[in-house]
Amino acid sequence: MKLAASETEGFIEELRAQSQSYHSLHPFHEKMNEGSLDRRQIQGWVANRFYYQVNIPRKDAAILANCPDREVRRRWIHRIHDHDGTAGEEGGIEAWLRLGEAAGLTKEEMWDERHVAPGVGFAVDAYVTFARTHPWVEAVASSLTELFAPDLMTERLAAFERFYTWIDPDGLAYFRNRITQAPRDSEHALEVVTEHCRTPEEQARAVAALSFKNDVLWSMLDAIEKAYPGDARQGDA
């Protein structure tokens, strides 16, 4: 049964309404975009966010493992390539490592997770578990925070270039790449979710999955903010 256009539009509006809970509105993130974080806070955010980055391919692999739709799998697998990289082509994980180095961290300390706050580890692990244990369409729906990401990446890139000039600009490649990748990814995910979620119950679960993902991202910033309270100085203090 195909949904009427008005029903599809209403469902999409419900999904987009979740932007009101997106982590871009978190006080820590707002301070970052205002240039109010000190060097240690930026480094803490980069190191903790790396734990999220390295787990994204595992989340996507779980979706692939649970998905019976060959065409969806053929398109979804590029997400793993985007993050893990391919032969001769850098992926998002490597780009984030370069961001860490540009911010004064070593690859070793990022990989060994010494800076990862317990709350960040818990939230990210919960997200991977969600993708493994919930219906694959709900896991796809949880990825739809990408609907809100292009503007976020543009603002974040501008903020880093303006306020955190002590970071080598070459280390900001991840942000530049996601400005174009996120719209492509979100378009496909939205197509999949609207095609497979046709009943009110299925749509409600998809919205709940996206709400859960927002909670994951928000909880990560809660944990980072607590672990890195900073001081009264700004920039590279």
Question: What's 139's domain CATH number?
Answer: 1.20.910.10
Whether 20 is in a domain gets the answer no
Residue 3's pLDDT is: 52
| Residue 3 CB-density burial (10 A; 0-12 exposed, 13-18 middle, 19+ buried) | middle
Q: Is residue 204 in a domain? A: yes
Residue 113 lies in a domain: yes
Whole-number pLDDT of residue 4 = 52
Q: 217 in a domain, yes or no?
A: yes
Q: How many domains does the chain have?
A: 1
pTM higher than the cut 0.85: yes
Q: How many CB atoms lie within 10 A of CB 98?
A: 18
Using the predicted structure, report yes or no on whether residue 1 has a pLDDT greater than 60. Answer: no
138 inside domain: yes
Residue 12 lies in a domain: no
28 assigned to some structural domain: no
Residue 158 has pLDDT above 60, yes or no: yes
Which tens digit of pLDDT belongs to each residue from 184-195?
889 999 999 999
Residue 208 has pLDDT above 50, yes or no: yes
- Residue 123's Cβ-count burial label (10 Å; 0-12, 13-18, 19+) is buried
At residue 90, the pLDDT reads 86
- Cross-strand bridge partners of residue 89: 86
Q: Which of 127, 140, 141, 130 is nearest to 67 (CA)?
A: 140
- For the segment 142-157, what is each residue's pLDDT rounded down to a tens digit? 999 988 877 888 999 9
Give the range of the structural domain holding residue 171, as residue numbers without chain letter.
Answer: 34-227
Query: Are the C-beta atoms of 43 and 103 separated by less than 8 Å?
Result: yes
Per the prediction, the chain carries an average pLDDT of 92
Burial state string for 215-224 with b = 16 or more CB within 10 A and e = fewer than 16: ebbbbbbbbb
